[in-house]
């Protein structure tokens, strides 16, 4: 690799790292706020929140890398153009095709990162995340042992205890069960105990009151009780026997168990093929993102008014290509034999890049055509 190529590549990777870090931080904060409310509201510790956050990072990074690739390419090319570095290189004989080589290598470097993420790290993180969610959902006792906080162990169920004694007794318990549409029940008790019963857990409430509201007729009935047993194991949906997910399997695992995999994961053959093709198409998209940023700016040339028009055009092309990728997903899911169309947006982007670089290499061809027509 020439010294100039190494210089440009280092510039690309430096700016790419900066933009990737900023974008990951922005997306992570938005996601972390929602995740924090859900986990802490369910009585989970900050350590569980940190674990879930880390497991969600590979998917988040995969989302932002193409954007960071495009931003890095545009920023470096714009800076080198404004500082006349590209002008000097072109004056010494380096044409648009020669200048595109380090940009292409830069795109390949990001594609290699994305390949590792999409084929291995993201599925492995999804599998671990699914396992931890199942473990937490089954640990009902831990979800209820938080005092002074209204907890929601599952949808339409609210639990509260004022104090948890050193002996494990729950004081001043409140339990609202609104899972049935035709009625809602509220239990209040002076004390309660969590008792393990085989694989299940029972909440035994002592000296309490049950209030039952019938939706039809708006009838309210109350009943006092000395002790009442409530099976809280039913508050969560068991995931131990849930089907495997295609998103939790690495690409080698998918290819090794391809026969009968669609039935195993309870998905159509088209959905299976689309997921696999997307894992190969996504890294290629990062190469196109870098090349579109370069080709659009190199075609626009230097302008004292800046390159905002070219940047907007490049960003618009990137959005259009990515939108086309999303539009073709249903086509492949409905017909697995149509999987090659998943790579059509990448080929279209490559054709646009080649056309723009060719135009930048032959800037006078339109004028020559018009002059020939006039002479004819």
- pLDDT tens column, 44-101: 677 888 888 899 999 999 999 999 999 999 999 999 988 888 888 888 888 899 999 9
Instruction: Find the mean pLDDT for residues 287-308.
Output: 81
At residue 234 the predicted structure's pLDDT band, cuts being 50, 70 and 90, is low
Res 158 pLDDT > 70: yes
- What is the rounded CA–CA span in Å between residue 175 and residue 322? 48
pLDDT of residue 238: 47
Contacts of 362 (CB under 8 A, 6+ apart): none
User: Which residue has better confidence, 176 or 39?
Assistant: 176
Cα dist. 342→68, 271, 317, 322, 334 in Å? 22, 12, 17, 11, 13
Mean pLDDT of the chain: 86
Phi, psi for 149 (deg, rounded to 5): -135, 135
Instruction: Find the mean pLDDT for residues 188-203.
Output: 83
Res 39 pLDDT > 80: no
Res 240 pLDDT > 60: no
pLDDT tens string 269-285: 999 999 999 999 999 99
Highest mean pLDDT among 225-234, 339-348, 358-367: 339-348
pLDDT of residue 167: 81
- What is the rounded CA–CA span in Å between residue 138 and residue 122? 24
pLDDT tens string 343-353: 999 999 999 99
Res 139 pLDDT > 80: no
Region of poorest pLDDT, from 140-144, 190-194, 273-277: 140-144
Instruction: Find the mean pLDDT for residues 243-257.
Output: 87
User: Which residue has better confidence, 266 or 368?
Assistant: 266
At residue 187 the predicted structure's pLDDT band, cuts being 50, 70 and 90, is very high
Res 30 pLDDT > 70: yes
Q: CB burial class (10 A; 0-12, 13-18, 19+) of residue 219?
A: exposed
Region of poorest pLDDT, from 162-166, 188-192, 334-338, 362-366: 362-366
pLDDT of residue 98: 92
pLDDT of residue 283: 96
Res 266 pLDDT > 80: yes
Contacts of 151 (CB under 8 A, 6+ apart): 41, 42, 43, 143, 144, 158, 159, 160
Name the percent of the chain lying above pLDDT 90: 53
Residue 288, both tokens: 């196109």
Phi, psi for 84 (deg, rounded to 5): 65, 15
- What is the rounded CA–CA span in Å between residue 19 and residue 126? 25
Angle at 135 between CA 26 and CA 188, to 5 degrees: 95
Residue 248, both tokens: 């939790």
pLDDT of residue 36: 79
Res 173 pLDDT > 90: yes
pLDDT of residue 37: 72
């Amino acid at each position: 690799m020439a010294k100039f190529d190494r210089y440009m590549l280092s510039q690309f990777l430096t700016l790419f790292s900066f933009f990737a870090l900023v974008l990951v931080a922005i997306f992570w904060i938005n996601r972390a706020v929602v995740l924090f409310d859900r986990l802490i509201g369910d009585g989970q510790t900050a350590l569980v929140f940190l674990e879930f956050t880390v497991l969600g990072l590979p998917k988040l990074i995969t989302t932002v890398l193409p954007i960071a690739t495009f931003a890095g390419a545009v920023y470096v090319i714009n800076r080198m153009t404004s500082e006349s570095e590209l002008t000097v290189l072109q004056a010494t004989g380096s044409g648009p095709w020669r200048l595109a080589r380090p940009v292409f290598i830069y795109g390949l470097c990001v594609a290699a990162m994305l390949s590792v993420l999409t084929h291995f790290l993201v599925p492995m993180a999804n599998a671990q995340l699914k396992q931890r969610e199942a473990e937490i959902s089954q640990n009902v006792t831990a979800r209820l042992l938080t005092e002074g906080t209204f907890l929601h162990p599952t949808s339409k169920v609210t639990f509260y205890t004022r104090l948890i004694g050193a002996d494990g007794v729950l004081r001043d318990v409140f339990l609202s069960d609104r899972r049935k549409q035709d009625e809602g029940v509220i239990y209040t008790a002076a004390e309660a105990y969590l008792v393990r019963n085989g694989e299940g857990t029972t909440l035994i409430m002592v000296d309490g009151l049950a209030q039952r509201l019938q939706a039809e007729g708006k009838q309210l009935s109350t009943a006092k009780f000395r002790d009442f047993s409530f099976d809280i194991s039913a508050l969560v949906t068991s995931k131990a026997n849930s089907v495997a997910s295609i998103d939790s399997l690495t690409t080698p695992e998918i290819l090794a168990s391809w026969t009968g995999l669609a039935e195993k994961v309870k998905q159509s053959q088209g959905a299976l093929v689309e997921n696999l093709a997307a894992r190969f198409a996504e890294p290629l998209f990062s190469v196109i993102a870098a090349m579109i940023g370069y080709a659009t700016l190199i075609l626009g040339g230097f302008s004292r008014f800046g390159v905002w028009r070219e940047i907007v055009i490049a960003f618009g092309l990137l959005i259009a290509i990515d939108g086309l990728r999303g539009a073709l997903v249903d086509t492949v899911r409905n017909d697995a034999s149509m999987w090659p169309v998943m790579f059509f947006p990448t080929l279209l982007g490559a054709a646009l890049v080649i056309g723009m670089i060719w135009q930048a290499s032959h800037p006078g061809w339109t004028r020559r055509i018009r002059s020939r027509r006039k002479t004819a």
